[in-house]
């Protein structure tokens, strides 16, 4: 699932910015060859307004653009579809001047109408564009107002630390395709993507791969040197890590992300260090985290003490040693613990089966019929402590199997069910699950938890799919969003972090320490990583 946190503190002074992008890549890199990248899974949909998964986001990042873009090394804003921008003295009006001569991939010109529509579609009160997952970030913008054919303003209705960043990072979509599509066009938008970006969607076979080709009319070819150097990008759908490594060794893939176990165990053959290479890096980029989530509306998991008992049955230390080779840490709460916004006094809930059983007994769970499964009378009915975990990644089953066995010893019947990705997302959207194992992407440097943890995000396809509710957390989130000073905001969100962690709505699993990847010899780069990302957009292929 995609998380669109837009970030950084506003400086309330009048600014007029006309910046040149800092040179990060090799200005002399050739525009050459096909970059073979493992997307892992076909996106649920490519529709730029309704898509929620990370796979669609990766494709869209090559095809679509926003008004400004982040520098991967400094994290500063730089020009993209806008060349100039102003912030009013009171910090409530953000004015952007569009770049001249930009065209959509279908040849139509980019206009301020497209920018206004991209905002209006997100805030459409009827949610006909299925943008509920984005609304929380844009709700403090009153309107997008066209000033003239090249100028648009975003007017804030109230202060919010990320108002400017929200506007600057707005993904722009073509109004002529997305406005009032008929049923045939709606279906087409699930499989097509038209943008202004450096790459054009050329082919899409859901069962095989997705291909992009360089946009020869992209504005950046003249203005940005050393970036987007591949003539083509072939995104393959190789789900299993072992198969992906085999494809890399054969040259069928050029780049793959690596999990610690594969990084250690599967990268020692004769080709490694000669034709293929593995890299372990650290940077300041936000880190995602994996989790086991409980449906908080389910009778088994409404009580936070029961959820904490479940966390006590998850032997993360063993899993980190056995599968992650000590390259991760037990997660402490709803954000990577290296962040300033994570309360560093919060410790991970330890593996403690005795404590788990003690909690369960206090809550009235016991085996009354000798079937080795705990039960309890709830609303006049005997309920067995039995549930199913949905898992979208086959390789993670081994982690859950350890949990299943430890839970069984405590009298809890856990069933594991592997679910194909599209079906998995559908079940989440429909809230048809008892427990799910998933991961959140990295998000942004500055944390806005509303999308996932505020009770407002439960309904209408919001990302709070577990239906978590805590009035204190809502209050902290609302207060933090209105707090412009970062130090003060950190203090407020530390409280939210601690409160959520104590409620244990998830079993917060692992925080990674490193970024791990493998690549072929023909991929060239200036450096292994930048401050806020790997920077594959600056890589090139040798001839």
User: pLDDT digits over 267-291, tens only?
Assistant: 999 999 999 999 999 998 888 899 9
Residues in the chain: 543
For residue 126, what pLDDT is reported? 83
Question: What is the distance between the alpha carbons of residues 234 and 212, in angstroms, rounded to a whole number?
Answer: 6
Question: What is the distance between the alpha carbons of residues 145 and 113, in angstroms, rounded to a whole number?
Answer: 10
* The model's pTM: 0.80
For residue 5, what pLDDT is reported? 32
For residue 304, what pLDDT is reported? 97
Question: What is the distance between the alpha carbons of residues 394 and 444, in angstroms, rounded to a whole number?
Answer: 28
CB distance 38 to 242 below 8 Å:
no
Q: Which of 361, 59, 128, 109 is nearest to 219 (CA)?
A: 109
Q: Which of 342, 324, 357, 286 is nearest to 509 (CA)?
A: 324
| CA-to-CA dists, residue 158 to 87, 141, 164, 211, angstroms | 15, 8, 12, 43
Question: What is the distance between the alpha carbons of residues 360 and 332, in angstroms, rounded to a whole number?
Answer: 22
CB contact set of 229 (below 8 Å; sequence gap of 6+):
25, 29, 30, 31, 32, 538, 539, 540, 541
CB contact set of 234 (below 8 Å; sequence gap of 6+):
34, 35, 36, 37, 209, 210, 211, 212
What tokens appear for 511 in the block? Answer: 């925080």
CB contact set of 65 (below 8 Å; sequence gap of 6+):
80, 81, 171, 172, 195, 196, 197
Question: What is the distance between the alpha carbons of residues 58 and 43, in angstroms, rounded to a whole number?
Answer: 9
**380: buried, middle or exposed (CB in 10 Å: 19+, 13-18, 0-12)?**
exposed
Q: Is 270 helix (H, G, I), strand (E, B) or coil?
A: coil
User: 137-162 burial by CB neighbour count: b if 16+ within 10 A, else e?
Assistant: bbbbbeebeeeeebbbbbbbeebbbb
The DSSP symbol for 295 reads -
What tokens appear for 23 in the block? Answer: 């040179």
Question: What is the distance between the alpha carbons of residues 302 and 505, in angstroms, rounded to a whole number?
Answer: 9
> What domains lie within the chain, and their CATH numbers?
15-189 (3.90.76.10), 238-282+516-541 (no CATH), 289-512 (3.10.105.10)
CB distance 96 to 152 below 8 Å:
yes
**Residues of the chain under the 50 pLDDT cut:** 1-21
Give the CA-trace dihedral at 459, 461, 465, 467, to 10 degrees: 0
428: left (phi over 0), alpha (psi -120 to 50) or beta: alpha
Question: What is the distance between the alpha carbons of residues 540 and 439, in angstroms, rounded to a whole number?
Answer: 30
CB distance 75 to 445 below 8 Å:
yes
Q: Which of 439, 441, 436 is nearest to 418 (CA)?
A: 436
């Amino acid at each position: 699932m995609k998380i669109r946190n837009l970030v950084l503190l506003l400086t309330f002074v009048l600014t007029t910015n006309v910046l040149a992008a800092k040179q990060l890549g090799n200005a002399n890199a050739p525009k050459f060859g096909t970059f073979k990248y493992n997307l892992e899974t076909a996106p649920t949909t490519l529709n730029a307004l309704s898509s929620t998964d990370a796979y669609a986001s990766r494709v869209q990042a090559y095809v679509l653009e926003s008004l400004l873009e982040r520098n991967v090394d400094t994290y500063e804003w730089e020009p993209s579809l806008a060349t100039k921008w102003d912030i009013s003295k009171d910090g409530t009006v953000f004015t952007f001047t569009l770049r001249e001569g930009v065209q959509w991939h279908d040849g139509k010109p980019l206009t301020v109408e497209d920018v206004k529509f991209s905002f209006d579609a997100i805030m459409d009160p009827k949610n006909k564009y299925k943008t509920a997952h984005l609304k929380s970030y844009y709700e403090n913008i009153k309107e997008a107002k066209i000033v003239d054919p090249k100028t648009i303003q975003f007017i804030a209705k109230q202060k919010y630390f990320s108002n400017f960043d929200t506007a600057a990072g707005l993904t722009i979509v073509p109004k002529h395709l997305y406005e009032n599509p008929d049923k045939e066009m709606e279906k087409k938008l699930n499989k097509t993507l038209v943008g202004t970006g450096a790459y054009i969607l050329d082919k899409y076979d859901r069962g095989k791969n997705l291909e992009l080709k360089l946009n020869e009319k992209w504005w950046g070819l003249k203005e940005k040197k050393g970036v987007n150097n591949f003539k083509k990008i072939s995104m393959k759908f190789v789900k299993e890590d072992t198969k992906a490594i085999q494809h890399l060794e054969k040259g069928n893939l050029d780049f793959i992300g690596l999990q610690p176990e594969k990084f250690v165990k599967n990268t020692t053959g004769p080709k490694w260090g000669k034709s293929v290479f593995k890299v372990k890096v650290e940077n300041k980029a936000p880190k995602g985290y994996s989790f086991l989530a409980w449906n908080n509306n389910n009778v088994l998991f409404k009580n936070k003490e029961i959820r904490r008992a479940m966390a006590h049955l998850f032997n993360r230390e063993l899993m980190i040693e056995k599968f992650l080779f000590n390259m991760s840490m037990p997660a402490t709460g709803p954000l990577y613990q290296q962040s300033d916004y994570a309360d560093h006094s919060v410790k991970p809930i330890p593996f403690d089966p005795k404590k788990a059983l003690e909690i369960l007994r206090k809550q009235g769970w016991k085996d009354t019929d000798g079937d080795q499964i705990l039960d309890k009378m709830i609303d006049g009915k005997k309920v067995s402590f039995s549930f199913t975990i949905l898992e979208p990644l086959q390789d993670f089953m081994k982690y859950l199997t350890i949990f299943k066995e430890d839970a069984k010893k405590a009298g809890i019947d856990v069933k594991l069910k592997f679910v194909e990705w599209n079906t998995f997302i559908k079940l989440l959207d429909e809230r048809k699950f008892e427990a799910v194992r998933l991961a959140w992407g990295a998000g942004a440097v500055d944390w806005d938890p509303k999308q996932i943890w505020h009770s407002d995000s439960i309904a209408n396809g919001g990302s709070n799919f577990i239906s978590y509710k805590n009035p204190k957390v809502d209050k902290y989130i609302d207060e933090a969003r209105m707090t412009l000073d970062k130090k003060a905001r950190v203090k407020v969100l530390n409280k939210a972090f601690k409160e959520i962690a104590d409620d244990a709505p998830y079993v917060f699993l692992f925080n990674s320490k490193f970024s791990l990847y493998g690549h072929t010899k023909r991929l060239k780069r200036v450096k292994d990583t930048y401050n806020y990302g790997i920077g594959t957009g600056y890589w090139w292929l040798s001839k």
